[in-house]
Amino acid sequence: MASETQTNSVTRTVSTNWLGAAVAGLLATLAFGGFQTAMGSSGVIANALPALYGIQGPALAAGWGIHLVHGAIFGIVYAAFVSTEPLREYAAKLPTGAVLGIAFSVLQTIVAVGFIMPLWLQAVGFPAAPPVPNLALSSFIGHAVYGVVLGALYPVLATKF
């Protein structure tokens, strides 16, 4: 006589931590903005970012607010990007997460800063709109600071929230 055993298994789905990603993006933006300020590039924060939304500059407080919101949004985009296989396991570790953050920031710089931002600034009539493509080395370096901090903090903050 044969017996049949039925087992129930529970499958857990690990979801991306969006709040941790947003906080990592905010902190990475603070590091990036501090770097920009130290390098004498705070004019982008005070003038170009507010202009995207029709705010006449210089408007440093509005620019910082916009910069932080953009940073949080890009933090969430990063989390979505690295939540796919095989990137998930690398994003969960600090060193490889930082490398993924740099790779993400290079892509972000090319797409958002190189093309979207200058076209947007031209569309709203900002007189100092950069040319397309806007691919300055200083922008890559500054965004790499953002990427390293984002990629290093995301695995830590994703477990805290």
pLDDT digits (tens, 9 = 90+) for 72-88: 999 999 999 999 999 99
Mean pLDDT of 3-22: 61
pTM over 0.85: yes
Output the pLDDT for position 73: 98
Q: What is the mean pLDDT of the chain?
A: 91
Distances from the Cα of 20 to the Cα of 54, 70, 72, 104, angstroms: 30, 15, 10, 17
Q: Judging by beta carbons within 10 Å of its beta carbon (0-12, 13-18, 19+), is residue 115 exposed, middle or buried? A: middle
Contact between 31 and 149 under an 8 Å Cβ cutoff? The reply is yes
